[in-house]
Amino acid sequence: MSGTPAREATLLDAVGIALAEEMERDPRVILMGEDIGVYGGAFKATAGLLDRFGPHRVIDTPVVEEAIVGAAIGASLRGLRPVVEMQFFDFASRAFDMITNFAAKHRYRTGLGVPIVVRGPSGGGVQAGPFHSQSPEGYFARTPGLAVVVPSTAEDARGLLKAAIRDDDPVLFLEHKLLYRRAKGLLPEGDGLVPIGKAAVRRPGRHLTIVTWGAMVPLALEGTDALAREGVEAEVVDLRTLLPMDEETVLESVRKTSKALVLHEESRTLGVGAEVAALLAEKAFEWLDAPVVRLAAPDTPIPFAPALEAAYLPGPATLLAAARKLAAY
Amino acid sequence: MTVSPEQQRLLYRHLLLTRLLEERMVSLYRQGKMTGGLYRCLGQEATAVGTAFALEEEDLLIPVIRDLGSVLVRGARPADVLRQLLAKADGPSRGRDAFLHFCLPEKGLYSGIAMLGTAVPVLAGMVLADRFLGRRTVGMTYLGEGGTSTGAFHEGINLAGVQKLPLVVVLEHNGYSYSTPSGMQCAAATLADKAAGYGVASAIVDGNDLLAVVEAARAAVAHARAGRGPFLLECKTYRRKGHAEHDGQAYVDAEELAEWSRRDPIALFERQLDASGVMDAAARVAVRAEVDAELDAAVTEAEASPTPVPDPEFRGVRADEEEVVRRRRETFVGGLA
Ligand SMILES: Cc1ncc(C[n+]2csc(CCOP(=O)(O)OP(=O)(O)O)c2C)c(N)n1
Ligand SMILES: [Mg+2]
């Protein structure tokens, strides 16, 4: 709501604030999910919303992900704006059909949009093993008809989630669980809407561009600090929306720096980074002074043990090594 | 098919081992030595122990989170279970997966995944294969109120029904699915009701009465082995702790919790053992001492195990991966620090 004063919040708070603000603004917004009402959600993103908005708008469901998304699609076709929570985004696998076949193709087939948001925690780094740590964005980001959003700051989480709820088509909203409490920021006064499909330059630099998103953004920023001390100025582009991708911001940055490193947490092969690399090959070839570097998790499941997970996820050392090599190319 | 005195003494040991091993896990968890969450089975041990006990050695079992007891009955060593929880290199999943997600095929023990319900069709396929190969194996797996809401469960039991597969699904009716009470999970009064829609047999038993569970499970297994199709055995029990250790279960009614604490399966079995004279208090104390000693050794052994070392070539995803590894070596920029 306009008129809301600025306030400090974590990314997790920001999700709850965005939901509450949109529910306040628009009586058509309803929430559905497992343990989201009485319990307030496995990560407490929806804490307090049942009390505030009542059981007709905050609906606790059985363990029925396919039915939750299916019912959200149906409710949206009758005029509501459903936001559903996947307890872990890994479990969106259960609703894959509903998301990629029913929701994503609906407007194209029938002319009727499906304004739903599917949101929930994704990502690793919390020693939760192969089924509670995945970064499933790549499964979805190649499906025409969807938007896929991954915020890395509290401000973006609020602004993008509000934009997602107002969007007339299905939006997948992946909240990196490692950032839930680590990403803190000042939520701006007023609506603070952040448009879907716009990347953000988090750090300007001249020598190379790091294109990334989610929990890799803070890693990239840390990396740029270290690189700066060595005289390498890296620019950090936070994609924020993976589909549709903000090609312009990426191209503009790489045309300036002439070197690009794509950094992502999902496994390497056919990850979103491959699309970025293809974009650069097609539209920035003449500007490139070095091959595009992809730094990603290896092509294995994400392991459980702390030492294995740490080796799996791109970390400061691998990033610095890759960036130094690229800078020196 | 009565449960012989000797079997009862063995059952008592399994029950106690499950309870006391979990206590060790809690203490490791509180010391921050465990990786990941701890999902407890306090108060529902008789269900997993009694049902798994009804299987023969060649049978197959896939546990879910509250079925530590079934894993122990199948012969998993407490030290190996602890290695798994401590994410050790020599644990059964070598630090790659969590909790009861490991396979010991020589003990007929296979692993589920976190996505609820998935084990039902997979186990249906396992016993389908065994039947094809001329084996008379029965498969047993478990699911709670939440798990039986999933499509995978329904599709799996339907397939098993038409194929008349020897599959026993133990329905652990423990009051909650995470924070969601049974009545909010399914409108049917019992989980066993789900059998009727698929033409599948079912029964309901007091899941805290170990001897009753064993007898009901034996009947279910016999039904399956005789080629009469799958069986849903609903065990009425109660989850006395939160979903996992982080969950303070504020949504649970204190009265209800107290009532079920009075129906503790170990205390109940002890009363039965007293009444029948099968095992007196002194004999039980001796078993406890023996189990405690076993667990002391298991904790020491597991804690002394090495933590896993990352494989710089990230192998183990597929059997034939030399080519993949070669490419990875070339392309994984930076490699390991
Ligand atoms: C498909 C899927 N959705 C959600 C979850 C998250 N989850 C894990 S356990 C659980 C509750 C399961 O309840 P129930 O089946 O009753 O088993 P209990 O924990 O009571 O033994 C939930 C929702 C999951 N593992 N898989
Ligand atoms: Mg349950």
β-pair partners for A238: A200, A212
Q: How far is CA A99 from the centre of its chain?
A: 16
Question: Are residues A297 and A230 part of one domain?
Answer: yes
Question: Are residues A287 and A163 part of one domain?
Answer: no
Starting from the CA of residue B244, give the closest ligand.
1
- Which of A63, A129, A315 lies nearest to residue B177, judging by beta carbons? A63
Band the pLDDT of A5: cuts 50, 70, 90: confident
From chain A, pick out residues whose CB is under 8 angstroms from the CB of B325. Answer: none
From chain B, pick out residues whose CB is under 8 angstroms from the CB of A306. Answer: 35, 87, 307
Element (H, E) at A236: strand A234-238
Q: What is the pTM of this model?
A: 0.93
Cα(B180) to centroid of ligand 2, in Å?
A: 8
For residue B321, the enclosing domain spans 313-337
Question: Are residues A215 and A155 part of one domain?
Answer: no
Domain at A16, CATH number? 3.40.50.970
Tell me how many domains chain B contains.
2
Per-residue pLDDT of A20-53, as tens digits, reads 999 999 999 999 999 999 999 999 999 999 999 9
Per-residue pLDDT of B182-195, as tens digits, reads 999 999 999 999 99
Mean predicted confidence (pLDDT) in A255-263: 98
Question: Are residues A209 and A277 part of one domain?
Answer: yes
Domain limit, last residue, from A164, A187, A210: A187
Mean predicted confidence (pLDDT) in A183-204: 97
Question: Are residues A223 and A162 part of one domain?
Answer: no
Question: Are residues B104 and B162 part of one domain?
Answer: yes
A–B interface: beta-carbon pairs under 8 A: 135
Band the pLDDT of B334: cuts 50, 70, 90: very low
* Other CB atoms within 10 Å distance of the CB of residue A110: 10
Do A127 and B87 count as a contact with CB atoms less than 8 A apart?
yes
Q: Which residues contact A75 (CB under 8 A, 6 or more apart)?
A: A30, A82
Do A62 and B335 count as a contact with CB atoms less than 8 A apart?
no
Provide the chain A residues 100-129 that lie in CB contact (below 8 A) with chain B. 127-129
> What residue type is assigned to position A169 of the chain?
D
Q: Which residues contact B267 (CB under 8 A, 6 or more apart)?
A: none
Q: With pLDDT > 90 as the criterion, what percentage of chain B qualifies? A: 92
Cα(B42) to centroid of ligand 2, in Å?
A: 13
> Residue A59 pLDDT > 50, yes or no?
yes
User: Is residue A2 in a domain?
Assistant: no
Per-residue pLDDT of A127-174, as tens digits, reads 999 999 999 999 999 999 999 999 999 999 999 999 999 999 999 999
Question: Are residues A110 and A217 part of one domain?
Answer: no
Chain A interface, best mutation among B172, B179, B328, by max A CB count within 10 A: B179
Q: Which residues contact A122 (CB under 8 A, 6 or more apart)?
A: A88, A89, A90, A134, A135, A136, A137, A150, A174, A175, A176, A177, A214
Question: Are residues A141 and A208 part of one domain?
Answer: no
Question: Are residues A109 and A15 part of one domain?
Answer: yes
A48: contact with B, CB 8 A cutoff: no
Q: What is the DSSP letter of A244?
A: T
Closest chain A C-alpha to B309 CA, distance in angstroms: 7
Can you give the pLDDT at residue A191? 95
Question: Are residues B227 and B330 part of one domain?
Answer: no
Domain at A205, CATH number? 3.40.50.920
Can you give the pLDDT at residue B332? 60
Q: Where are the alpha helices (DSSP H) in B31-118?
A: 45-53, 68-73, 78-85
Can you give the pLDDT at residue A1? 47
Ligand 1-lining residues (CB < 6 angstroms): A 34, 63, 65, 87, 91, 94; B 65-66, 114-116, 143-147, 150, 172, 174, 176-178, 239
Per-residue pLDDT of B150-177, as tens digits, reads 999 999 999 999 999 999 999 999 999 9
What mean pLDDT value characterizes chain A? 97
For residue A140, the enclosing domain spans 7-187
Per-residue pLDDT of B223-237, as tens digits, reads 999 999 999 999 999
Pick the catalytic residue from A56, A106, A132, A264. Answer: A132
Do B178 and A64 count as a contact with CB atoms less than 8 A apart?
no
Count of residues making up chain B: 337
Tell me how many domains chain A contains.
2
